[in-house]
Amino acid sequence: MAVAALRSLLSQAYARAERRLPALTRLKAPEPLPIALHRRRIYIVPTRFGLGFGAILATMLLSALNYTNNAALLLTCLLAAAAFNSMLLAFRTLDGLSLQAVRPGHAFAGTPLPVDLGFTAGGRARAALRLDGAGDAQHFALDANASADVRIELPTETRGPLPLPRLRVSTTWPFGLFRAWSWLSPDTRALVYPRPEAHGPAAPGADSEGERAQGGAAGDALAGLREYRAGDPLKLVAWKASARHANLLVKEFEHPRDRDERRLDWHAIRGLSHEARIARLARWVLEAHAASARWTLVLPAETLGPDAGIGHYHRCLAALALLP
Amino acid sequence: MTPRPSADAHLHPATDAQRALDRRAFDLLCLAVAAVLAAHVPHLPLWLSPALALVLAVRWAQRRWRGGRVPTLLKLPLVAALPLAILAAYGTPFGRAPGSALAVGMLVLKLLESERARDARSAIAFGSFVAMSALLFGQSLPMTVLVALALLPMLATLQALQPAAAMPRFAHAFARPALLLAASLPLALVAFLFVPRLSAPLWGAPGADQARTGISPRMAPGDFIDLLTDDRPALRVAFDGAPPPPAQRYFRGLVMWRFDGRAWTATDAAPSAAPEPLRPQAATVAYEVTLEPTGRHWLFALDTPLAPPADATMSAARELARARAIDAVLHYRVVSAPQRALAPTLGDAERRRGLQLPPGFDPRARELAEDWRRRYGGDAHAVAGAALALFHDGGFGYNLAAPPLGRDSVDDFLFGTKEGFCEHYASSFVFLMRAAGIPARVVTGYQGGYWNALGGYLLVRQSDAHAWAEVWLPGQGWTRYDPTAAVRPERVVLGAAAGAAGQGAWYQADWLQAARNRWDIVNRLWDRTVVGFDSLRQRGLLTPFGVERADWGALAAALAALSALVLSASLLLALAQRDRRDPLAAAQARLERRLARAGVARRPAEGPQHYFMRAARALPAQRAELHALGEAYLALRYACAAPADEPLRNYLIQVRRFRPRRVVQ
């Protein structure tokens, strides 16, 4: 009880301090990449273990002085100096580290969104770094002059642009006595796709699977002729046309799935709320992409397609995500 | 050059302290605890250290090969048995020895429940305290080095506890802690020199329960035997001039008057009387004594001191003493007269004390003394000569393994065993003198010592402990007689080792002894510079800077100032960014800075070729030079993957020499 009360009091005081003290809030403003850490933005405080170790050192100092034991005093001074210098090492672990790239992944609302953060080490090795952001924490280490991608996952709730939360990169290297940390607020935004509805009617134009037969079936529209390549089936050779040419020619038909064209129309959906329409369109886009179909997405302000493929898929979902 | 994201990072993201100890960290932790245990072995009870070592080894093997926790049913009895065993061994739970034995035990038992990073951290923090407490039992150089070495596995353990830390080879785990400790030495030394020392202890009486070694205020034949085999240093003496000859190296400690038939004691000395008058008969000797802690009050000085050193008093019989027991290495300066006459007149009280003998002991010795008294009348010198002749010619031998003596100890020795060492001879000699009606007393102290020519000081060991006699001669006063010298002159001239020649154990071989005597220089240096650095010498530290007898505030200010100096130096080092760019890029940057000052700054997104051309146009006086530089740069940068050494060096020299001349427009 008391601990919880104290903790909430502490976090209140911390939030207040962040509001009041410009030094703490200065680094909350998003900034462009690359972000290099330097001495003005690296903070250091002792860890809880560091405080306890300090208390032990104080006890050692007092007893060495009390017993006028110079060897013990020398040892205590040595250990204290080493502990102190470990603070400088902690600082050096962060100093010069830079965040070069932020590559947000894709996620539907409600599922975690992976973000890859590209760090480069600069001239010295960085052991035992830790990245915290939005409840996720990652440990990583970098060799000198190396770079690494660290992936964190952000929780998502609603569709739309998601600004990256403030990230904290910290280290307690080498002895866990001091924690050095710095805030990173890259001005990169991730995009959260709308959550597709779970069930609902199929999209208009989505045919049953059986109707789409393999290439070369009767009734396919002839698209053109091309030169014979080893491995083409003999029944596709256009013998009559080949007789007039030096080489064999082969008939080319339009690909069967090209015919499977869907029109995913915002206006065709009625009787649903704004968000439910978006959810349905998102499901249709998903299904169309899964069926390798061509589709056209008609939105109130724009029309996307007809097209197919992964690029079209992401464009459509992004457009849905950004709908007002 | 590969990143090392940790494999298990995702499983326990937020709880560093709860992470299980990996094998490396546990190995290092066990090593650290073993090192702390080793530092404590010299003072632990004989059975305790092997028992703790066994627990440690079994626990290490168990976690390594079987894994899993130690069952509580096994842990609890061990934890309960430890305090009981220590209580049984020491009889009390209080004090330095049982306290630190308990601490070492707890530290070893802590391993039994160390499964997580947090356990290891608290074990290390506690362990550093326990390691330091080993120094409370002896601050010799080897011990200090051992404890300092124990810091290495401790720091290595803390480092191995870091998440995502790369796991280097076992030996490499110590590299960074060792480097860090070495780099911390300057700061540590500044702190050591200037941390203000306490003028009085805050608690406890330091050294109260320390085992007492050295000369005791009671002397019975055979008591010295522990001392005579103890090779530890007792005192070191640095003379201002040449050292006195070996036969004069008598270091006076206590004068013993009272004999109870068995033992001589110094207890009933008159405390407040003025020192016996002294007439030096040759040049005096000035010297500085470095006394190892004894836990006693008295000091030792070359026979016979003229005046007490600062903080000490001198008794009537010219014994030196301090008000507080000597618990730390003590330096003091004395001036002595090796050849002197003491107390030409003898008061009645002194005479009575000098003739006291317990009634009903040693009838045959009394008879012999009566015989001498009749034969030589009142001639004390002749009686003493007769006693020395008896020792020299009467078949007496010098033997450290003297047979035990019965109730009439003097009779037993003189007419029975005839084997003994300084105590036996001094005791019998004084007995005979007193029985013959001549005032005499026993003096204990050290005699001899090893002259360390390299260090320029005399090393006196506990094994140089000695007892001799002083006889009051009319007209001359108290005169020193050493009956041991009558039996074995080498003991006095060549020292204790020669006296006991052929009787030492194998580890007292001559060459080993010689090596140890040389090694003592290091110990002495350690004692003088580190162990003996007391508040008095600390106050003198600032004298060269015009601060006489610096007080607490001045020391604190000096500490702050010097620490700040050392810290800013390390901060600068920490902030230093090593320029890892290749020399070509660095040279190019320099050239661009110079050209920018001359008014030709490189534009963003301007290629080097265009930039050099523009610079050549802007500085027509140096057109040719700039063309050459540009071509050389382009060739070095783009013609090959890595520039060749020779052209690169030429280019660097050209850049260094190039000075743009500003054009007046």
Q: Is the pLDDT of residue A76 over 50?
A: yes
Closest CB to A139: pick one of B158, B163, B567.
B163
Q: Is the pLDDT of residue B154 over 80?
A: yes
Where along chain A do its domains lie?
14-186, 218-257, 258-321
Question: Worst-scoring range by mean pLDDT, A122-136, A248-262, A294-308?
Answer: A248-262
Per-residue pLDDT, averaged over B16-31, amounts to 86
**Cα separation, A106 vs B519, whole angstroms:** 73
Would you call B466 a catalytic residue per the annotation?
yes
Q: Tell me: the pLDDT tens digits for B34-70?
A: 999 999 998 888 899 999 999 999 999 999 888 878 8
Query: B263 at the A interface (CB within 8 A)?
Result: no
Reference B464, options B224, B174, B135, B188; nearest CA is B224
Six-digit token string for B311: 């903080």
User: What are the distances in angstroms from CA B445 to CA B125, B219, B227?
Assistant: 45, 11, 11
Reference B481, options B384, B360, B344, B409; nearest CA is B384
Per-residue pLDDT, averaged over A99-116, amounts to 90
Amino acid symbol at A216: G
CB-based contact B154:B32 (threshold 8 Å): yes
- pLDDT at site B578: 58
Residue contact A137–B14, C-beta within 8 A: yes
Chain B residue nearest residue A39, CA to CA: B575
- Which residues, numbered 30 to 59 in chain B, qualify as contacts with chain A under a Cβ-Cβ cut-off of 8 Å? none
Report the relative pairing of strands A261-265 and A294-298 from DSSP bridges.
Answer: parallel
**Cα separation, A142 vs B3, whole angstroms:** 5
The residue annotated as part of the active site, out of B422, B424, B464, B527, is B422
Q: Is the pLDDT of residue B271 over 80?
A: no
- pLDDT at site B12: 40
Which positions ≥6 away from B432 have C-beta within 8 Å?
A: B365, B368, B369, B372, B383, B387, B410
Is the ipTM higher than 0.90? The answer is no
Q: To probe the interface with B, which of A61, A94, A139 has the most B CB atoms within 10 Å?
A: A139
Q: Is the pLDDT of residue A94 over 60?
A: yes
Reference A45, options A230, A182, A159; nearest CA is A182
**Cα separation, B508 vs B130, whole angstroms:** 33
- pLDDT at site B557: 87
Query: Which residues from A are below 8 Å from B148, CB to CB?
Result: 75, 78
- Measure CA B36 to chain center: 18
Q: What is the dihedral of CA A261, A264, A265, A269, to 10 degrees?
A: 130
**Cα separation, B562 vs B187, whole angstroms:** 9
Q: Is the pLDDT of residue A292 over 70?
A: yes
Q: Is the pLDDT of residue B499 over 70?
A: no
Would you call B371 a catalytic residue per the annotation?
no
> Whats the size of chain A, residue-wise?
324
To the nearest whole Å, the CA of B220 is away from the closest chain A CA by 33
- Which residues, numbered 501 to 530 in chain B, qualify as contacts with chain A under a Cβ-Cβ cut-off of 8 Å? 530
- pLDDT at site A128: 87
Better-predicted residue by pLDDT, B665 or B117: B117
- The dihedrals phi and psi of B613, each to the nearest 5 degrees, come to -65, -45
Query: A127 at the B interface (CB within 8 A)?
Result: yes
- Measure CA B133 to chain center: 14
Question: What letter would DSSP give residue A166?
Answer: P
CB-based contact A318:A107 (threshold 8 Å): no
Report the relative pairing of strands B450-452 and B457-461 from DSSP bridges.
Answer: antiparallel
Six-digit token string for B655: 């850049």
Reported confidence tier of residue B28, pLDDT bands at 50, 70, 90: very high
Reference B229, options B613, B517, B450, B499; nearest CA is B499
Instruction: Find the helix or strand (DSSP H, E) in which A130 lies.
Output: strand A126-133
Residue contact B129–A174, C-beta within 8 A: no
To the nearest whole Å, the CA of A32 is away from the closest chain B CA by 18
Reported confidence tier of residue B188, pLDDT bands at 50, 70, 90: very high
Per-residue pLDDT, averaged over B313-323, amounts to 85
Angle, nearest 10°, between helix axes B96-110 and B72-90? 170
CB-based contact B55:B108 (threshold 8 Å): yes
Q: Tell me: the pLDDT tens digits for B616-633?
A: 888 888 888 888 888 888
**pLDDT-above-70 percentage for chain B:** 89
Q: Is the pLDDT of residue A215 over 50?
A: no
**Locate tokens 């995009």: which residue?**
A191
Compute the Cα dihedral for B534, B539, B543, B549 and give only its sign.
Answer: negative
The residue annotated as part of the active site, out of B40, B43, B424, B466, is B466
Mean pLDDT estimate for chain B: 82
- The dihedrals phi and psi of B527, each to the nearest 5 degrees, come to -65, -40
Per the omega criterion (within 30 degrees of 0), is the bond before A174 cis?
A: yes
Q: Is the pLDDT of residue B138 over 50?
A: yes
What 3 state SS string does B66-98 have? Answer: HCCCCCHHHHHHHHHHHHHHHHHHHCCCCCHHH
Per-residue pLDDT, averaged over B176-189, amounts to 92
Q: Is the pLDDT of residue B13 over 80?
A: no
Chain B residue nearest residue A55, CA to CA: B125
Q: To probe the interface with B, which of A42, A78, A93 has the most B CB atoms within 10 Å?
A: A78
Q: Is the pLDDT of residue B238 over 60?
A: yes
Report the relative pairing of strands B278-280 and A35-36 from DSSP bridges.
Answer: unpaired
To the nearest whole Å, the CA of B18 is away from the closest chain A CA by 13
To the nearest whole Å, the CA of A78 is away from the closest chain B CA by 5
Q: Is the pLDDT of residue B333 over 70?
A: yes
Reference B216, options B157, B160, B267; nearest CA is B267
Reported confidence tier of residue B267, pLDDT bands at 50, 70, 90: low
- pLDDT at site B148: 93
Reported confidence tier of residue A216, pLDDT bands at 50, 70, 90: very low
Q: To probe the interface with B, which of A53, A67, A178 has the most B CB atoms within 10 Å?
A: A67
Closest CB to A84: pick one of B151, B187, B531.
B187
- pLDDT at site B9: 38
- Which residues, numbered 200 to 239 in chain A, qualify as contacts with chain B under a Cβ-Cβ cut-off of 8 Å? none
Six-digit token string for B294: 């004894």
Reported confidence tier of residue B3, pLDDT bands at 50, 70, 90: very low
Query: B191 at the A interface (CB within 8 A)?
Result: yes
- Which residues, numbered 194 to 233 in chain B, qualify as contacts with chain A under a Cβ-Cβ cut-off of 8 Å? 195, 197-198, 201-204, 206
Q: Is the pLDDT of residue B497 over 60?
A: yes
Reported confidence tier of residue A12, pLDDT bands at 50, 70, 90: confident
Closest CB to A150: pick one of B5, B192, B195.
B5
**Locate tokens 């050239």: which residue?**
B591
Chain A residue nearest residue B176, CA to CA: A174
- pLDDT at site B596: 86
Closest CB to A70: pick one of B533, B567, B574.
B533
Query: Which residues from A are below 8 Å from B187, CB to CB?
Result: 77, 81, 84-85
Q: Is the pLDDT of residue A173 over 70?
A: yes
Query: Which residues from A are below 8 Å from B203, CB to CB?
Result: 66
Better-predicted residue by pLDDT, B68 or B123: B123
**pLDDT-above-90 percentage for chain B:** 20
The residue annotated as part of the active site, out of B303, B482, B520, B527, is B482
To the nearest whole Å, the CA of A5 is away from the closest chain B CA by 22
- Which residues, numbered 135 to 154 in chain B, qualify as contacts with chain A under a Cβ-Cβ cut-off of 8 Å? 135-136, 139, 143-144, 147-148, 151
Better-predicted residue by pLDDT, B326 or B103: B103
Question: What letter would DSSP give residue B326?
Answer: -
The three-class DSSP label of residue A171 is strand
Q: To probe the interface with A, which of B129, B144, B192 has the most A CB atoms within 10 Å?
A: B192
Reported confidence tier of residue B496, pLDDT bands at 50, 70, 90: low
Per-residue pLDDT, averaged over A27-32, amounts to 72
Would you call B422 a catalytic residue per the annotation?
yes
Q: Tell me: the pLDDT tens digits for B599-620?
A: 888 887 788 888 988 888 888 8
**Cα separation, A207 vs A212, whole angstroms:** 8
Most confident of B153-157, B205-209, B417-421: B153-157
Most confident of A27-36, A247-256, B114-123, B543-552: B114-123
Residue contact B530–A145, C-beta within 8 A: no
Per the omega criterion (within 30 degrees of 0), is the bond before A306 cis?
A: yes
Q: Which DSSP string corresponds to A194-234?
A: PPPPSS-PPPTT---GGG---TT-TTPPEEEEEE--TT--G
Q: Number of Cβ pairs closer than 8 Å across A and B?
A: 206
Six-digit token string for B457: 């000081």
- pLDDT at site A27: 57
Q: Which DSSP string corresponds to A15-83?
A: HHHHHH-HHHHGGGS-BPSPEE--GGG-EEEE-HHHHHHHHHHHHHHHHHHHTT-HHHHHHHHHHHHHH
Query: Which residues from B are below 8 Å from A85, CB to CB?
Result: 180, 183-184, 187, 570
Per-residue pLDDT, averaged over B147-173, amounts to 85
Instruction: Dump strand ranges (E) for B257-396.
Output: 258-259, 264-265, 278-280, 285-291, 298-299, 301-302, 312-314, 320-322, 330-336, 340-342
Query: A68 at the B interface (CB within 8 A)?
Result: yes
- The dihedrals phi and psi of B335, each to the nearest 5 degrees, come to -115, 130
Q: Is the pLDDT of residue A208 over 50?
A: no
The three-class DSSP label of residue B649 is helix
Reported confidence tier of residue A259, pLDDT bands at 50, 70, 90: low
Alpha helices in B111-224 (DSSP H): 117-133, 141-160, 175-194
- pLDDT at site A22: 56
Closest CB to B201: pick one of A66, A80, A146.
A66
Closest CB to B128: pick one of A49, A64, A79.
A79
Report the relative pairing of strands A107-108 and A189-193 from DSSP bridges.
Answer: parallel
CB-based contact B409:B262 (threshold 8 Å): yes
Better-predicted residue by pLDDT, A3 or B75: B75
Per-residue pLDDT, averaged over B530-544, amounts to 77
